[in-house]
Structure 1
């Protein structure tokens, strides 16, 4: 096992990684921006280094500062968490060329999956189902229009270099396509430095289901169950659960087999996620993208399968065998994660601020991965996620009941908070039934 780990991230995910590292006897080193100096993850690390001002480009995305911190503290390995530099192939290469251990997939796999068109083509060649769409960037509106006519409206216009639900638009006809194409291309150039756009079939009623994979040190790729991620606003997730209420044993077998093929196609190592769209009318599913990192929603898989995924990540990076038997993975019970964000519960607009009160729920089947405590300030510089409330039970009904009680007991004062939305969702008949799709929040609002 590696002996020292620098966590190149912040907030709840840094705190969560540090917790497992310390449990394993690994020295945990935090990096932080100036405005994050008082957050819990900094205090809980064995050592902490300030890497710059609030602007992420000057701190959490500052490769030189992070590598200097690793060198000055004698760190042996770097865990990037999610976001920031976690899916930056150049950073992964730089870490390894500096003689450090990269806790994540190889740079080649990150690069291969980072371009959505290249990823689609690789998956199709590997026998993973992909939705009808372009096999190369749409070079101008004329090419996009021709592709959409062949695919059939409605279509999804997507930034080829995008991810995390960003850089996407839906066009129902040719006029809308012109508007969405220009909008997505401009956004992609501004956010990703790459204006490439792909056109793909859009499914009006669809579920978002993903599979957790782990590429082991011996070269095998293991699929560790699926997660339902269809409760979304603006194509970004708010609630995840495992197992998916839409997936029966036969469909699960197909999902897991496809995810393993996807990982094997890029010689995948460490933790990753194969995201798919599921047509509930036909049980057909299509590859959406591969996230070459640990996911925000990884705790629901941990609770259902009894696995600490961060510990497994560290074992893979250390060249060690997993703690579990890949041939005997069986889901037990049900888990639901709610993303507690500093945002308005009606319009989901961020509302940062100083936290005057913070009381986390406790009880059987309740877990909270939080990044803040009372007295901290949620600033405008970073994502609005404050904590993840994860509940588990013997079945979905018990998990929902525990979630209701936990939401009622969770007190946050100061910033805006979306807890009232979750109280509403957990009483929603469509959600309770398990028969919902990605448009659920739209229908609620």
Structure 2
């Protein structure tokens, strides 16, 4: 099942969703700017702008008596991740504000790469389809240095004016998550000054509600096109850093239930993480993400691997107990953990942590299964730059093998997958190094003052 332009299909529902999520008045005059919750009229140009929001539902090969299916949220070739959906709605709100007021907006966002790429693509689409001009809307992103290989070429880079107005800042500090504090401090501490200096409103978009508002379309599409059986619980599997996507699906399901259009059992959620940031799984089972809750690994000189048998929810084998499988998943102690824990305890589900060794061990099988569903993976896994989908598949297959899940209806949310052969990476020398709040402020000021 292919659903083209999912956002346009459910566009009339998004306004009420935004009003529920962001009920406070937002007119741009508060201490921290927001463009408000208005969306532009769904003109032909706006509909074309949202055309990147395709999604697909495809059955997968059954595994040990389980029915597996893929929710493919990676169909925008300019991003190949689910971040497209939220980014399109976020930028659309900025467009409506600009159309109503004539004022300028500069989006400032931290990212491990995928949010940044998606927001850059959404801004470019808004410009290309004539919704705003390059002078009215721009975006400044700040990413950890380890994520720079994921930043991709686009019209925001090839056009000299757009490149200057939409820079990529790179933070090389030891803790990748510092990019969040840097971006937020610039917007909150210098937003008013920059508005007076160059006449633009700084918008820090990394807020949970901004993402829930778009991710509800997953639940709407599920209810309309591939609903579970009324008496059969469905397990939703997702590789997560903060689980925004699953929380958006859960919120959408709750809205359908309130409107009496949802008769299926409550969804169950299964979190997949990696050893570099297993905080949500630790929090779910231990009440905190303290490192001492993770199992200790012992080195085996015969195999050259580290192993443990104490906790089946952690990898049995790994190349390195501290490995970072994918820089996308960098969030430590996410504020979303308590809500996700509550959902799983009330409705069912669980979580698991995977290693690179396990993903590579499963890779040939996963590649074959996904290939049958029309999702191509490179023959050489070393070409992968985004491991979200492989992590999710590895996690659920391991969980089934280890008897950690009982559900027979399993939906894997395909949130991201791309390889080095699928895009042109941006040269690091064309990005802007930042060390602190002051240096990032200078980048924002220069870009917005052009």
What TM-score do you get using the length of structure 2 for normalisation? 0.29
What is the TM-score with the length of structure 1 in the denominator?
A: 0.29
Q: Which has the higher helix share?
A: 2
Choose between structure 1 and 2 for higher RCO, CA contacts under 8 A separated by at least 6 residues: 2
